[in-house]
Amino acid sequence: MHKHHSALGLASLHRPVQPVTLLRPHAAQRAARFFAEKFPGRSMYAVKANPSPDLLEILWDSGITHYDVASIAEVRLLARTLPDATLCFMHPVKAEEAIAEAYFIHGVRTFSLDTMEELEKIVRATKGATDLNLCVRIRVSSDHSKLSLASKFGAEPDEMKALLIATRQVADALGICFHVGSQAMTPAAYAEAMERVRAAIVGAAVTVDIVDVGGGFPSTYPGMEPPPLETYFEVIHKAFESLPISYSAELWCEPGRALCAEYASLLVRVEKRRGEELYINDGAYGALFDAAHIGWRFPVKLVRDDASDARDMAFSFYGPTCDDLDHMAGPFMLPADVAAGDYIEIGMLGAYGCAMRTGFNGFGSDLKVIVEDEPMASLYLAQEERRAASNVVKL
C-alpha cells in the first residue's frame, strides 16, 4: 500500500480519477489505546463499524483483544484474521446453525439474547453447554443519541424478570447488556440505562456477572461536538459500582464508531458544478451512505495546491450514479470558487463509510493510501492537546 504525507500530496502528484480512501493507522492506534487504558472495564470492538482486516490487526496490536461480532461471516473473518481473539456474538437474533458453528468450530462462548425463544435456541444449538456467557439485552431509550437503536432489539423491562431467571439457570456467567443508540451526545444516556439495569436485577433477584453498556460512544462531526469521553467513562463507572451485582462482576463496552471513525477519510474529485451542487465521484452507494440517508454531515476541505481565499459557502453533493437518491444534502461548507477538477477530502469515514460501499451502477473504488497527517477532526487529539497544555509550567 502506498504512503503519502497528506491528501494534498496524493492529489497533486497523481490526480486520481477514482475516489481514494485515505487511511491513518496512527489514529486507530490512538483510539484503541485510549479505550484499552481508560475505560474502567473491558472494551470489545464492534466489527460491523469497519471490518477491514488491516484495521482489526491495528486494534489488536493496540490492546483490543475482544470483538463484538454480529454474524457468522464476522465470526469467520475474525477467526481467520485474529485467531487468538475472544469473540462475543452479540446479535440478539441468530440462526441456530450460526450459533452451533460459532460454539463448536470457532470457540465462541458469549452470546446475547432478548427472548425466551432465543435462549432455547442457544441451549439447543450448543447441546446444553455449561460454559456459556449469556447476556440478556434490555431495551433502553435512544433519546440522547443521534441514531436510535431502541425499536428493533431488547426485552421490555416487564419481561426481564422471567428471562433473567431462566438464563441464570443455564448460564455459567449471566450478563445484562443494552445499547443507547449510535452517537450518544451525553453521558446521561448511560446513567439512565444503568437505572433500568438496576431495576431488572432487583426485580429478578439474580446474581449478575457481566454488565455490558454496549456502544454509542461518539465521535466528533460538524454540529456534533460531544463532551470528552472520560466523562462518559466516569458516569458509567460510578453507576456500575453502585449496582447490586457480584463482587467479581465485569464491566464491558462495545465501541465501534469511536474506535474507527478517525481511521479513514475519502478523497473525491468534483466532476461538475451546478450552482450550489457539486457532482463528485463517490456518494450514497459508496462511502457516503450516512450523508445521504440520515443527513449526516462530515468535515470537508478543498484540496488544492494554491489555497483558496474565497469565502466559504454551503454546498450539497450528488454522487456518480444515475439515481436521484444519490444526493447528500449537507450542507458542506467549502470555498465559493470550488470547481470541476478540484479535489475534496471528506473526513471521519472510517466508521460505516468503508463498510457500506456497494458496486451499484458500476461505480466504486477500492483504492487505498496511507497518509501520515492527522484526521480532520479528533476527540483523542484534542484531549491530548488539553492534557499537554495543562502540564505547561507557568513562571
Residues 235, 94, single domain; the answer is yes
CATH number for the domain spanning 271: value is 2.40.37.10
Residues 15, 57, single domain; the answer is no
C-alpha cell at 118: 432465543
- Return the pLDDT at 5: 80
- Return the pLDDT at 366: 81
Q: How many domains does the chain have?
A: 2
How far is residue 259 from each of residues 52, 140, 289, measured CA to CA in Å?
A: 13, 23, 19
23: phi then psi, degrees, rounded to nearest 5 = -105, 140
Residues 171, 302, single domain; the answer is no
Domain-located, residue 387: no
CA distance 314 to 329: 10
Q: Which of 41, 39, 22, 30 is nearest to 385 (CA)?
A: 30
How far is residue 120 from each of residues 94, 96, 166, 167, 300, measured CA to CA in Å?
A: 12, 10, 10, 9, 49
C-alpha cell at 213: 453498556
- The predicted model scores a pTM of 0.92
Q: Which domain holds residue 124?
A: 26-260
Residues 189, 146, single domain; the answer is yes
State which residues of the chain have pLDDT below 70.
Answer: 1, 148-150, 382-395
CA distance 233 to 65: 19
> For this structure, is 322 an active site residue?
yes
Annotated catalytic residue, options 135, 177, 260, 322: 322
Last residue of a domain, one of 233, 260, 287: 260
> What is the CB neighbour count within 10 angstroms for residue 279?
17
Residues 198, 283, single domain; the answer is no
Residues 228, 296, single domain; the answer is no
Cβ partners under 8 Å of residue 110, min gap 6: 86, 87, 88, 89, 90, 132, 133, 134, 135, 175
Residues 71, 204, single domain; the answer is yes
- Return the pLDDT at 98: 98
Contact 193, 160 (CB under 8 A): no
- Return the pLDDT at 307: 87
CATH number for the domain spanning 94: value is 3.20.20.10
- Return the pLDDT at 394: 45
